[in-house]
Amino acid sequence: MIYPDSKTILEVRNLCASVEGTPILKNMNFTVKSGEVHAIMGLNGSGKSTFSKVLAGHPDYEITSGIVLFEGKNLLEMEPEERARTGLFLAFQYPIEIPGVGNSQFLRLMYNTVQTHRGKEELDPLEFDDFVRDKMKLLEMREDFLDRSVNAGFSGGEKKRNEILQMALLEPSLAILDETDSGLDIDALRIVAQGVNQLANKDNAIIMVTHYQRLLNYIVPDFVHVMVDGRIIKSGGKELALELESRGYNWVSDEYKAASRVAA
Amino acid sequence: MSVVAQPSSGYLQSLLAGQPKVAASKQAWLNKLRSSAVETVSELTIPTTRDEEWRFTDLSMLTKVSLQPAHGEINLSASEIKRFYIKEASNRLVFVDGVYAPALSTVVAKEIIVSNLASELAKNSTLLQQHLAQQSKIEGNVFAALNTAYLRDAALILLPRDTQAKAPVHLLFIATQKEVVSYPRTLVLADNGSEATVIEDYVSLQDEAYFTNAVTEFVLADNARLHHVRIQREGGKAFHIANCAATLSRYSNYQSVSIALGARISRYNLNVKLAEGAECSADGLAMISARQLADTHTCIDHAQPNAISRQLHKCVVDGGAHAVFNGKIMVRHGAHHTDSQQSNRTLLLSDKAHVDTKPQLEIFNDDVKCTHGATIGQLDHDEVFYLQSRGVPHAQALNMLTYAFAAEIIERIPVPSLKHSLEQNVLEQTSTQL
């Protein structure tokens, strides 16, 4: 939702990033305010997943220029764990399996670490158990889910639900959902979307990175951005996603090229 | 490869010096077994890195330490060793520097025999003669031969037909004397359809150099099922060389988990021979740091058709430590429908950590399903990033992932309290190392 007097959560200015010397992000500009839901759409290789990993601080990407302010602070100076504690959350496209580490143990460690850094009380195992089970209901998750190893042997849908559960526990001010709909059947998609919608409020913001319009039927964006070749070339409302779905991406590129020629 | 001087036969002679003091047994066959072992030793030398089987494990350090046979006095009270007890294992045999300590041992089992060899020799002479030193061959194996040359007593477990041991049996071998060599020995005979869990546990109460030279033998009759847990947590300057052999009859099942944490230099040879339809798993974890060397050589011999073997061996190597894994899978003529999987995974935690790994498949048969593989690597940085992105500090993320890597093996131990305490050990070790 777009609220009046909302504060700026994320401000990306002229961001350029490369991986192993190959530029991927080329002058990315992007602003998110509290309460807003953004969708970044684009074809494979457009740089949209890179953008989400760069925001979360993945070490493979080198920032070559540009500024990213997260709630007014220089995000690029922070370690990935600091970004998480400050309130940035990335739901992974491919959540990592960690056999041998119990899911409940992991979730509690994560929760307590972040709580401590926000100057709040930690929860002991019993308190945490109640707390997490409550959140699990939101995502219609089975009880035995806590006893298993982190993501190990989880189905695609279970992994994505586990990501949203983590989001529910950490209560980030900015959640980036990277291809959260990929690999989900309609039921799982509905549950995940319902979870996200319940977590959205006027103080936080959500960025969905996706190349299908499908997810946007369930989590309705305030803004839709089209990313091509490492930058956003068109922005619009939720109707833009529908247009992309029916017309594809080429027309946006053509329009952009034509506009660039005119400008030149 | 470093060049090693030919060790003098004088070293072996010094190890054998105490042998004539081993009291003669009333059983002529046992005396004969020992004397032929002495002969075998005199024909052999301490292996060097020029021996293919010892290429990566240099024993010259061992030959430089002057070692005496351990004296037989036991000055230990239960309170000093209580911390090694395993809650579930209500049957416990304690050996101190290789010598049976009846006062420290507890046996409650009525359904099975848990005892020492010396007490059972007269009663079960024929049975023992038939199996003792018949699984672990001494030919060409100087350490097994040395152990047999000193063979007087042993941990003995006899599982009668179709009996299921109610509780695990804990064989606790404690090192207390420095600069001594001890010869722990174990024999487990599982009759048809019997079932048990045996924990073989090597610990130390001192930090100086000593040498444990152990031999363990398992004989599984048809349909017997045995869990073998082996924990090597010797002192930091110890030498530990052990030979274990398991002979599996038709449709028997041997599940072994071996954990190597201690010793300056350790070597574990495991030989499993499978008859028709038998199943085994031989999993291992070596977790070492500083200047430790842990060498595991296994040979799984599919001698007959339809047998199944599974092996996952993991090494976690930190500091300047060196892990060695050599896993041989043998599929003999006529061993049709053999199903074998082997995997060796190593985690190197420092630039100086080192591993030599060699899977070896020898297949003399077409109709088989055999897979094997080895991976060596550092922690996956995508996994580290995932944890960091959830607020976990970098160092703690490394600890967790190292722990998880090791825990996959520890998880396979079917004794909850032991599993838990080892997981705690590993957790503490990873947190101090990284």
Q: What is the structure's pLDDT at B14? A: 86
**Any CB–CB contact under 8 A between A119 and chain B?**
no
Tokens of B236: 């930091």
**Which of chain A's residues have a Cβ under 8 Å away from the Cβ of B403?**
100-101
Domain range for B224: 66-379
**Which of chain A's residues have a Cβ under 8 Å away from the Cβ of B401?**
98
Going by the DSSP 8-state scheme, the letter that residue B111 receives in this structure is: S
pLDDT in 10s for each residue of chain A, 264 residues: 888 888 999 999 999 999 999 999 999 999 999 999 999 999 989 999 999 999 999 999 999 999 999 999 999 999 999 999 999 999 999 999 888 788 998 999 999 999 999 999 999 999 999 999 999 998 989 888 898 889 988 988 899 999 999 999 999 999 999 999 888 889 999 999 999 999 999 999 999 999 888 899 999 999 999 999 999 999 999 999 999 989 988 999 999 989 888 877
Q: Does some domain include residue B29?
A: no
Tokens of B118: 């010396």
Number of domains forming the structure of chain B? 2
Gap between the Cα atoms of B77 and B92, Å rounded: 15
**Which of chain B's residues have a Cβ under 8 Å away from the Cβ of A178?**
none
**Which of chain A's residues have a Cβ under 8 Å away from the Cβ of B394?**
79, 81
pLDDT at B327 over 70: yes
Going by C-alpha positions, the residue among B294, B428, B318 that lies closest to residue B379 is: B318
Q: Does some domain include residue B392?
A: yes
Gap between the Cα atoms of B24 and B46, Å rounded: 27
Spacing of C-alpha B343 from chain mean position: 19
B421 and B345 belong to one structural domain: no
B286 and B405 belong to one structural domain: no
Closest-approach residue (CA) in chain A for B395:
A81
Closest-approach residue (CA) in chain B for A97:
B383
Q: What is the mean pLDDT of residues B365-382?
A: 90
pLDDT at B369 over 90: yes
A119: left (phi over 0), alpha (psi -120 to 50) or beta: left
Q: What is the mean pLDDT of residues B412-421?
A: 94
DSSP E strands, B88-168: 91-96, 99-100, 113-116, 155-159
Q: What is the structure's pLDDT at B432? A: 55
pLDDT band of B3, cuts 50, 70, 90: very low
Tell me if B338 sits within 8 A of B331, measured CB to CB: yes
Q: Does some domain include residue B41?
A: no
Q: What is the structure's pLDDT at B77? A: 93
pLDDT band of B80, cuts 50, 70, 90: very high
Going by C-alpha positions, the residue among B287, B196, B202, B271 that lies closest to residue B239 is: B202
Spacing of C-alpha B113 from chain mean position: 22
pLDDT band of B71, cuts 50, 70, 90: confident
pLDDT band of B1, cuts 50, 70, 90: very low
Which of B88-92, B142-146, B279-283, B364-368 shows the lowest per-residue confidence on average (mean pLDDT)?
B364-368
B339 and B424 belong to one structural domain: no
Q: Does some domain include residue B237?
A: yes
Alpha helices in B323-393 (DSSP H): 381-388
B112 and B198 belong to one structural domain: yes
**Any CB–CB contact under 8 A between A159 and chain B?**
no
B5 versus B100: the higher-pLDDT residue is B100
Spacing of C-alpha A115 from chain mean position: 20
Gap between the Cα atoms of A63 and A193, Å rounded: 32
B175 and B90 belong to one structural domain: yes
Whole-number Cα distances in Å, B317 to A2, B202, B292, B355: 54, 21, 9, 8
**Any CB–CB contact under 8 A between B431 and chain A?**
no
B412 and B326 belong to one structural domain: no
Among residues B352, B379, B406, the one where a domain terminates is: B379
Tell me if B208 sits within 8 A of B238, measured CB to CB: no
Type and span of the H or E element at A30: strand A22-33
Q: What does the pLDDT look like over B135-164, one tens digit per residue?
A: 998 999 999 999 999 999 999 999 999 999
Q: What is the ipTM of this complex?
A: 0.94
Going by the DSSP 8-state scheme, the letter that residue B12 receives in this structure is: H
Q: Is B405 helix (H, G, I), strand (E, B) or coil?
A: helix
B217 and B330 belong to one structural domain: yes
B371 and B385 belong to one structural domain: no
Q: Is B116 helix (H, G, I), strand (E, B) or coil?
A: strand
Angle at B271 between CA B360 and CA B254, to 5 degrees: 110
Tokens of B84: 């090694």
Closest-approach residue (CA) in chain A for B412:
A100
Q: Does some domain include residue B74?
A: yes
DSSP E strands, B52-210: 68-69, 91-96, 99-100, 113-116, 155-159, 169-175, 180-182, 185-190, 195-204
Tell me if A52 sits within 8 A of A209, measured CB to CB: yes
Closest-approach residue (CA) in chain A for B400:
A101
Q: Does some domain include residue B58?
A: no
Q: Does some domain include residue B15?
A: no
Going by C-alpha positions, the residue among B120, B206, B195, B199 that lies closest to residue B165 is: B195
pLDDT band of B73, cuts 50, 70, 90: confident
Gap between the Cα atoms of A124 and A129, Å rounded: 8
B346 and B388 belong to one structural domain: no
Nearest to A92 among B380, B386, B388 (CB): B386
Q: What does the pLDDT look like over A45-61, one tens digit per residue?
A: 999 999 999 999 999 99
Going by C-alpha positions, the residue among A152, A153, A155, A176 that lies closest to residue A164 is: A176
Going by DSSP bridges, is the β-strand pair A174-178/A88-91 parallel, antiparallel, or unpaired?
parallel
B121 and B262 belong to one structural domain: yes
Q: Tally A–B CB contacts below 8 A.
A: 71
The CB-side HSE value for B124 (13 A sphere, CA atoms) comes to: 19
Whole-number Cα distances in Å, B282 to A36, A66, B165, B273, B356: 56, 55, 21, 12, 19
Tell me if B303 sits within 8 A of B332, measured CB to CB: yes
Count Cβ neighbours within 10 Å for each residue of A253-263 and write b for 16 or more, e otherwise.
beebeeeeeee
Going by DSSP bridges, is the β-strand pair B68-69/B180-182 parallel, antiparallel, or unpaired?
parallel
Whole-number Cα distances in Å, B303 to A141, B308, B309, B372: 48, 11, 12, 19
Q: What does the pLDDT look like over B182-220, one tens digit per residue?
A: 999 999 999 999 999 999 999 999 999 999 999 999 999
B423 and B336 belong to one structural domain: no
CA–CA min distance B257, chain A (Å): 16
Q: What is the structure's pLDDT at B434? A: 42
Q: What is the structure's pLDDT at B9? A: 67
B387 and B308 belong to one structural domain: no
Gap between the Cα atoms of A135 and A115, Å rounded: 16
Structural domains of chain A in order of their starting residue, each with its CATH number: 8-263 (3.40.50.300)
The CB-side HSE value for A109 (13 A sphere, CA atoms) comes to: 18
Tell me if B92 sits within 8 A of B115, measured CB to CB: no
Q: Does some domain include residue B143?
A: yes
Count other Cβ atoms within 10 Å, centred on residue A202.
13
pLDDT at B5 over 50: no
pLDDT at B366 over 90: no
Whole-number Cα distances in Å, A53 to A58, A83, B391: 5, 12, 15
Nearest to B401 among A81, A84, A98 (CB): A98
